[in-house]
Structure formats: structure tokens, C-alpha cells
Amino acid sequence: MENDTYPAENAREMADLVLDKHADMVVGDRLSSTYFSENKRPFHNFGNSMVRKCINTLLFRNDIKDIMTGYRAFSYEFVKTFPILSKGFEIETEMSIHAVDKNMYVQNVVISYRDRPAGSESKLNTYSDGFKVLRTIVRLYQTYNPMGFFGLIAAFLAMVSTAFFIPVMAVYLRTELVPNFPTLIVCGFTIIAAIQSFFIGMQLQTILQKNRQDFEMNLHRVANDKKRLLAK
């Protein structure tokens, strides 16, 4: 709520959703209200829209309305099970993806956004921090959906190999000769790399499933710890 850009009057509503409705994360949604009219930095507007599109539609498919907002409320369980691996402005993206991947209960609260007062400066660097956020999205997609990540690499390599192999095969069928041995060799190595990428994705997906099982057990332990603390 630095520089009065986030309205403090919504804090009670957000806290009540955690305490009374058992939400794991409550997101202060600026983008559904006044953000695009109040924010005078067009690249920030574009960046927020692009990040929301990437995470909500293309990669993780969820309904978090504002991925980059810093106005949030969390449950005890979320705080105790969220591994902080990022720093700076990437952490909002990591919190959002963690909640989606672990099927946590997320609520959106529409808030009014007020642009920064004259004379105040944003800590956000549009280009460098924007690049860090996009890099974080790619890293987390690899971590949370390895089959999708390495499957895309495998599909791309397989298509490249096939595209270069077809002319070689056409010449061979017509002349029974292979004049382009270097191309044929590169195609062979490329398809091997595609197969390796596919099986790497399968192996990591199996490990991920085991990690999710371990997370559920840890979540039960944290919930029991919370009950003991409340009973004291």
C-alpha cells in the first residue's frame, strides 16, 4: 500500500475471506477496476495484460484476475507451505503459480487503484523487471509442468528433423542415392535429441507427482499445527 496506490479499506474484506471463507490466497484485483485509466505508464499496462494472458490462458489456465498485484492476503497454510525462490517483482508471479498448481482456494477482490502521487518514484523498472518476470514464468512452467515444457521442445525438434529429412528421402526414392549425408546425420541427431527431451519430460513429471503427494502430507501437518496453536 506504499504511496497510497492500494486502498487500505479493502484489507478487512480480504482478511475476512481468509478467516471466514477459508481462502488460501486473496488477490487485490486492480485490473478489473481503475488500473488502466489511472496508470499513466502504458508499458506497465501492456506488461500486466501480457503476464495475465500467459499464465491464465496459455500456460496454467486459472482465474486469477491480477497476477502482478502486491495487495494480497494469505492463509496460515499458504504461508507455511510456500517456498520463496524468487526475489523482487517476480515473487507475485511465483505466488500465483504456486497457488494454482497446488489447487489452493483463491479469491479475487476488485479494488480501486490510484496512480502514484506526483514526486514519488516506482521501484519497478519496466524493461529489466519485466524480463525477469517473463523468465520466471518460463522457469516455473518448466518446474510445474515439465511434460508440457520438454514436450514442446521435443515436438519442435521432431518437426525440424522431419522438415530437413523429407527432401533427403525424396531424393533417395527418386535416385536411390543420398547426396546430402551431413543433412541426414544432423536429422538423426536432432530426432535423438527430441526423443531424449520427451523422456526427460516424462521422468520429471513422475518426480513432480511424487512432490505433490509430499506437499499434501505437509499440508496436513501444517493444518494440524494450526489447530494446536489455536487450541492454546
Tens-digit pLDDT profile for residues 182-192: 899 999 999 99
> Which residue did the predictor score with more confidence, 69 or 20?
20
Look at strands 72-74 and 25-29 and give their pairing.
antiparallel
Nearest-angstrom CA–CA distance, 154 and 141? 16
CA dist 25 and 178 (Å) reads 61
74 and 159 belong to one structural domain: no
Whether residues 7 and 78 fall in one domain: yes
Query: Which range marks the domain in which residue 153 is found?
Result: 146-231
Q: What is the total residue count of the chain?
A: 232
Domain count, the chain: 2
Residues 73 and 98 occupy one common structural domain: yes
Instruction: Quick: pLDDT tens for 5-64.
Output: 778 888 999 999 999 999 999 999 888 876 666 555 655 666 667 777 777 777 787 788
**Helix (H, G, I), strand (E, B), or coil: what is residue 222?**
helix
Q: Does the pLDDT at position 92 exceed 60?
A: yes
Q: Which of 144, 173, 191 is the last residue of a domain?
A: 144
Give yes or no: residues 118 and 202 share one domain: no
Of 122, 144, 166, the residue at which a domain comes to its end is 144
Beta-carbon contacts of 71 under 8 Å, excluding residues fewer than 6 positions away, are 1, 6, 10, 14, 27, 28, 30, 111
Per-residue pLDDT at 120 exceeds 60: no
Distance (Å, whole) CA 101 – CA 94: 10
Q: How confident is the model at residue 1 (pLDDT cuts 50, 70, 90)?
A: very low
Residues 93 and 151 grouped into a single domain: no
**CA distance linking residue 200 with residue 89, whole number of Å:** 30
Looking at the structure, tell me whether residues 99 and 161 fall in a common domain.
no
Does residue 83 sit in the same domain as residue 153? no
Final residue belonging to a domain, choices 144, 166, 190: 144
Q: The CATH number of the domain where 33 resides is what? A: 3.90.550.10
Between 134 and 72, the higher pLDDT residue:
72
- Under 8 Å between Cβ of 167 and 187: no
* Same domain, yes or no: 100 and 178: no
- Same domain? 16 vs 124: yes
pLDDT at 140 over 90: no
Say yes or no: 108 and 13 in one domain: yes
